[in-house]
Amino acid sequence: MKHLTAIALALTSTLASTAWAQLYDKATPARTAQAEENIADDTTVTAKDKQMFGLSWFGSDPENPRPLLQAPAEVRSENGVCKATVHIRKQVVQAGDQTLNTSCFNGRYTGPTLRFRAGDTLELNVINDGEYNTNIHFHGMQVSPDDYGDSVFTIIPMGHEYTYRIKIPEYQQPGIYWYHAHSHQTSQRQVMQGVTGTIIVEGALDRYPALKDVKEHIVVLHDYQKGLSGEVVLGIQISWPTYRLVNDQKFPDIEIKPGEVQFLRIANESTNIYYNLDFGGEKFWVVGVDGNPTVQMTEATRWALGAGARVEVMVRFDKPGRYKLHTSEIRTGPNGDGYSAENLLTMVCMGDPVANPIALPQTPVGPCPLDDLSKVTPDVTRTIVFSETANDFRINNRYFDGTRIDQLVRYGDNEKWIVRNSSDELH
């Protein structure tokens, strides 16, 4: 269970969820190939879906119309400033083939993507007409917590608004990040309600000139548990099945030509779920992990994505076919949670092969922009131990207290942190 869980204990009982996890684990044996196919069949588009989504959402194969993946709304930086407004308000929104009565950004379950370059300024106006006091955490950004910056101790009360003004440092690495509610004890539910969005720091492909024109897709993995009231449940049960979406859509398609290279920027914006992603054994090439460019393109056939994690990959399929982005069943340890397998989206490889296919992997031009810290002598070394009791999660045997300072670090120091997980589950 991730940090969001740890700080939202008021909403969920660890004991109850652990007991359920064991039960659930026993109840869900590994899926057979037939079962996997049934998942796909369940999500075949119906006449009702067509009405709901609008015809423009459907792919170019008239025999098998399916909703194409739609990008979330987007705000781009202009003249060095990315200026956006997110309005949290409770309303009925479309979430896949269901509706959800929820407090989310701008009437969409998936919030707007904010795009800017290192060195720009982000001005994010947050209007809180939601159900909780809130705030925004800019996940993975190396920015100041001061003044109108990235502080999880900021509180935007219900009925108020607040504008974050954040200078993005020149050393912020290009890649995919996200922003989400992080107010203590309600962040888990707010994230599941949809108080999240994606951040792109531009320039991720600057070191790969041959790839500068490849088609890009933002792929937001997000999920919820819905109660009888039509809202996100009050008591989230971590191991219970959740309704999983990709950019507000259920099992959408992406079209790709044989031999074409496309760029998938995948963010796990869920509260708890781990994904264990694959394309049915097809290779893909990783260019970024959690906003850090990889030194070289890394070939992979499977990638585990914890809650909050991101991965950016190049895909190419040489033969026509339907290649499903799939997550396998995953269990986070004897004391952890179990998540079922599911198909998330389909890359439909069709049409004429591209004339001059781009070779993969590409060799990057110039050095990796990340500093190599492996040879730096640390100024301070700390050991951080994660543990669990029957009732709570702890770091160095202490439960979170927002009024206490646990680690005081000096600006500019090089620190070595040894992180030890003594619990019986992934963290």
Task: Between 54 and 402, name the residue whose CB sits nearer to Cu ion.
Answer: 402
- Determine how β-strand 292-300 pairs with β-strand 74-76: unpaired
Residues near Cu ion (CB under 5 A) are 139, 308
Measured from the CB of residue 138, what is the shortest distance to Cu ion in angstroms? 9
Task: Between 308 and 338, name the residue whose CB sits nearer to Cu ion.
Answer: 308
Measured from the CB of residue 334, what is the shortest distance to Cu ion in angstroms? 26
Q: Which residue is at the shortest CB distance from Cu ion?
A: 139
Q: How far apart are CA 280 and CA 325, in angstroms?
A: 8
Q: How far apart are CA 275 and CA 272, in angstroms?
A: 10
Measured from the CB of residue 330, what is the shortest distance to Cu ion in angstroms? 20
Measured from the CB of residue 180, what is the shortest distance to Cu ion in angstroms? 6
Instruction: Name the strand (E) or helix (H) holding 59.
Output: none
Task: Between 45 and 192, name the residue whose CB sits nearer to Cu ion.
Answer: 192
Tokens of 319: 């033969």
Is residue 56 helix, strand or coil? Answer: helix
Measured from the CB of residue 154, what is the shortest distance to Cu ion in angstroms? 15
Tokens of 398: 């202490």
Task: Between 139 and 207, name the residue whose CB sits nearer to Cu ion.
Answer: 139
Contact between residue 198 and residue 310 where contact means Cβ atoms under 8 Å apart: no
Measured from the CB of residue 287, what is the shortest distance to Cu ion in angstroms? 22
Neighbours of 246 (CB within 10 A): 23
Q: How far apart are CA 218 and CA 311, in angstroms?
A: 11
- Determine how β-strand 261-268 pairs with β-strand 215-224: parallel
Task: Between 197 and 288, name the residue whose CB sits nearer to Cu ion.
Answer: 197
Helices (H), 28-145: 33-42, 47-53
Task: Between 271 and 343, name the residue whose CB sits nearer to Cu ion.
Answer: 271
Is residue 384 helix, strand or coil? Answer: strand
